[in-house]
Structure 1
Amino acid sequence: MHIQHWAPPLACYLWPLASMARRRGKRIVVTVHNPHPHEQAGTFKRIEDRLLRSADVLLAHGARGVQSLRDRLGADAPAVCQVAHGMHVRTEPVVATDADYARLGLDVHRRNVLLFGNLRGYKGLDVLLEAWKSASEQLAGTRLIIAGRFWSGKRHLLSRLSARLLGMSEHAERLQTLLLEARSSGNVMLWEGFHSDADLDALIRVSSFAVFPYLRFSGQSGAACRAAEQGRPVLVSHVGGLPELAIDNSWVCIPGDSQMLADKLVEKVMQTSESRGCDQRQLDMVRCFDWARVADDHGAIYRELL
């Protein structure tokens, strides 16, 4: 039985499910997408620990994720293996079309830098906005697009309860205030809400690169993988498995260092405007994350358990 596990609250039903399967003689594999919770977890984390300890094998994305699980669970932890976050890596980098700009209502002559995904406190959005503001003169011809939704708990009762328990509503309110101030500058655009795959892919195509300045993290970002697999360079912070996606160390920042991030933003906007060579280098960097190889890695682990 192979369980995909994202967040501590899910352990409330996944742990009993795994226990039931084990009583029936099944072997248990758990892919742990986030070896350490992003937000406060409390009781959920203790239940999650029981789920993780019930497994025969735990899978983590990246070497740091493997070590994080071993440190968290101690000497009696189950076996922990590294399996990359899979990607559909393109043969060639994607290219923006006039239809993409028309679909998004964007100026074809203006450069864009993109951050997308769920907008949560640990993702460093506040650091990015501070960096963008400090480099505003050098980035005058470039727009920062922030696309995603806040986990504020305003959608329905269950989401409100989850947001309160995990401490996400306070983060959402603070980020919304910061964004309101940043948008007044005219070169920061917030595209809030859930977006279709077609819209997200169009956003990736019209962007020079994507930025993921996470403050704390122990996995690999699905959003960063989505940009990288299409040949859009990713500017990331040195946390979790993010550096493994970067073209080289020049695309990696110290988490929380807004001045370093500002300098990198200016450098990479200039670099990508002069040449599209970085797009191909990004694809070449992540070919080892292709789903075919990830499937082979899973198959080898399954055979060991039989």
Structure 2
Amino acid sequence: MKVAMLGSYPPLRGISSYCFELATSIAGSDCEVEFLSFKQMYPAFLYPGRDLKDDDTFPSCHDPHLHVKRKMAWYNPLGWISEGLTTNASILHAQWWSLPLAPAYLCLCCLFKIRRKPIVFTVHNVMPHERSPWFYHLSRLLFSMGDHFIVHSSRNRKQLVDFYGISPDAISQIPHGPLDFQVNPDADREKIRTGLGFKPAHKVVLLFGAIRPYKGVDTAVKAFARLRTRIPSARLLIVGKLWQSWAPYEELIAHCGIPDRVKTRLGYIPSAEVHRYFCAADLVILPYHHFDSQSGVGGTAVSFRKPLIVSKVGGLPDLVLDTGAIIPPMDSEALSEAIARCLENSARLLKMANDADRVAQTLSWTTIAKRTIKVYEKQIAKSRHRSALIPTGNAR
């Protein structure tokens, strides 16, 4: 079986970490994967800071069953048409998450439908993180061509049914796996912590990922203000690329009187450097205001076997086993208390780290690949059955 997978692949950014793990896992299962990536995915003016540099620090993959093509560009429809007409894959697996990709995706999906090849969508964002009617309407148009849909959470499944009218039978819930390739087993934790400016006694709480309004940076800062006297050694480490102005957060940190308790690294973090921040952390928090799916950052925390506190939104609670580590969204008091319970109890931290290990075992990419391949096989069989029912020109 040969699969055409559409999405972003290293050295592009986007969701390349996820696509790398999924494509290599499926290829490792002796399934031929032709990955249709881009040489230029977005126009620069649509991206924060116009920073579209490739990340050349991703690991390489030399699996003979995986062939990566980087011929498409956002500005060249001829490239989209060429890929849609020339691939000899039996099925298209499209990773859907970003509105600017809609024209290319619509073109490729139309060509696959014309060629009577089934289409599977993994829907990473059923609804946009920020309000966008265009996202909804273009997603609906795309989904009308889909034969099956993969989502990461039960909430995503419900949204596909309620908002897009997709049959529950056409939806599979397959989790987002841990991003194991980012782990560096040889990293010197104490050296990394010292290099980041932390003392041995400091208890480091990490908030990692793109800084956007829904990520709950404000909730984290307010929670730390409550910890100022209770746990003087606690430090908040905020790491990620800005998608908005940092000024309001800087003002909030100053207003709360904790500029000495907060360290930041604002900017895109190359894949090869991600391990530094997770190695340095004693605890990882995801205090999201709202969220519908599973989190790549959460998957990374699980990969590093880090204790994790999450908001009760989307699929985030699936990443923890301790109900005390699940807090209401936008509740700085609850977050503060949850952090304190962890940092004041080393046995609890150890248990939560062991929980992360147990969660990681349930999210293995081998299992994810097998379940995904079963989806392919079922859709290809259905497509062949439908084709057999269509009379040929010689039918009487």
| TM-score bucket (shorter structure) | 0.7 to 0.9
Q: 1:274 to 1:304 in 2, by over 3 A?
A: closer
Whether the 8 Å contact between 1:179 and 1:190 is mirrored in structure 2 is: no
Q: Which residue of 1 aligns with 2:120?
A: 29
Q: Which residue of 2 aligns with 1:98?
A: 190
Supply the distance in 1 between the matched residues of 2:249 and 2:193 (Cα, whole angstroms): 27
Supply the distance in 2 between the matched residues of 1:304 and 1:35 (Cα, whole angstroms): 23
Supply the distance in 1 between the matched residues of 2:103 and 2:117 (Cα, whole angstroms): 20
Counterpart code for 2:360: V
> Any gaps of 5 or more consecutive residues in structure 1?
153-168
The C-alpha deviation readout for 1:147-168, integer Å capped at 9, x for no partner, is 001114xxxxxxxxxxxxxxxx
Larger radius of gyration: 2
Whether the 8 Å contact between 2:120 and 2:149 is mirrored in structure 1 is: yes
Whether the 8 Å contact between 2:239 and 2:265 is mirrored in structure 1 is: yes
Name the SS for the 2:345 alignment partner.
helix
Supply the distance in 1 between the matched residues of 2:262 and 2:215 (Cα, whole angstroms): 17
Q: How big is the shift at 1:88? A: 4.9
Counterpart code for 1:46: H
1:5 has 2:5 as partner: no
Name the SS for the 1:108 alignment partner.
coil
1:248 has 2:328 as partner: no
Match for residue 41 of structure 1 among 115, 132, 150: 132
Whether the 8 Å contact between 1:93 and 1:283 is mirrored in structure 2 is: no
Q: 1:141 to 1:274 in 2, by over 3 A?
A: farther
Whether the 8 Å contact between 2:307 and 2:349 is mirrored in structure 1 is: no
Aligned 1:43-192 pairs, distance under 5 A: 43-74=134-165, 79-88=170-179, 97-152=189-244, 174-175=248-249, 177-179=251-253, 181=255, 184-192=258-266
Counterpart code for 2:340: V
Q: TM-score, normalised by structure 1?
A: 0.86
Match for residue 287 of structure 2 among 213, 219, 225: 213
Name the SS for the 2:199 alignment partner.
coil
Supply the distance in 1 between the matched residues of 2:347 and 2:317 (Cα, whole angstroms): 23
Name the SS for the 1:276 alignment partner.
helix
Aligned residues with identical type, % of pairs: 27
The C-alpha deviation readout for 1:116-144, integer Å capped at 9, x for no partner, is 00000011111111111122211310110
Counterpart code for 1:133: A
Q: 1:107 to 1:198 in 2, by over 3 A?
A: farther
Counterpart code for 1:67: K
Match for residue 109 of structure 2 among 18, 21, 33: 18
Q: How big is the shift at 1:304? A: 0.6
Whether the 8 Å contact between 2:342 and 2:349 is mirrored in structure 1 is: no
The C-alpha deviation readout for 1:85-130, integer Å capped at 9, x for no partner, is 022569x997853332244343233110000000000111111111
Counterpart code for 1:107: K
Q: 1:207 to 1:191 in 2, by over 3 A?
A: same
Name the SS for the 2:324 alignment partner.
helix
Q: 1:31 to 1:180 in 2, by over 3 A?
A: farther
Whether the 8 Å contact between 2:308 and 2:352 is mirrored in structure 1 is: no
Q: How big is the shift at 1:10? A: 2.3
Q: 1:275 to 1:177 in 2, by over 3 A?
A: closer
Match for residue 283 of structure 1 among 339, 357, 367: 357
> Any gaps of 5 or more consecutive residues in structure 2?
1-91, 381-396
Name the SS for the 2:291 alignment partner.
coil
Q: How big is the shift at 1:183? A: 7.7
Aligned 1:227-306 pairs, distance under 5 A: 227-272=301-346, 276-306=350-380
Counterpart code for 2:202: R
Q: How big is the shift at 1:7? A: 2.2
Supply the distance in 1 between the matched residues of 2:347 and 2:267 (Cα, whole angstroms): 29
Supply the distance in 2 between the matched residues of 1:227 and 1:275 (Cα, whole angstroms): 14
Q: 1:183 to 1:28 in 2, by over 3 A?
A: farther
Counterpart code for 2:132: A
The C-alpha deviation readout for 1:235-277, integer Å capped at 9, x for no partner, is 0001110000012211100111121111111111112477533
The C-alpha deviation readout for 1:37-82, integer Å capped at 9, x for no partner, is 1002122321122112221111100222211221111256881110
Q: How big is the shift at 1:192? A: 0.6
Name the SS for the 1:286 alignment partner.
helix
Q: Which residue of 1 aligns with 2:15?
A: none
Supply the distance in 2 between the matched residues of 1:292 and 1:218 (Cα, whole angstroms): 24
Supply the distance in 2 between the matched residues of 1:241 and 1:139 (Cα, whole angstroms): 30
Supply the distance in 2 between the matched residues of 1:249 and 1:138 (Cα, whole angstroms): 23
Supply the distance in 2 between the matched residues of 1:137 and 1:272 (Cα, whole angstroms): 19
Match for residue 199 of structure 1 among 260, 264, 273: 273
Q: TM-score, normalised by structure 2?
A: 0.67
Name the SS for the 2:344 alignment partner.
helix
Supply the distance in 2 between the matched residues of 1:148 and 1:293 (Cα, whole angstroms): 30
Q: 1:12 to 1:51 in 2, by over 3 A?
A: same
Q: 1:67 to 1:275 in 2, by over 3 A?
A: closer
Q: 1:179 to 1:30 in 2, by over 3 A?
A: farther
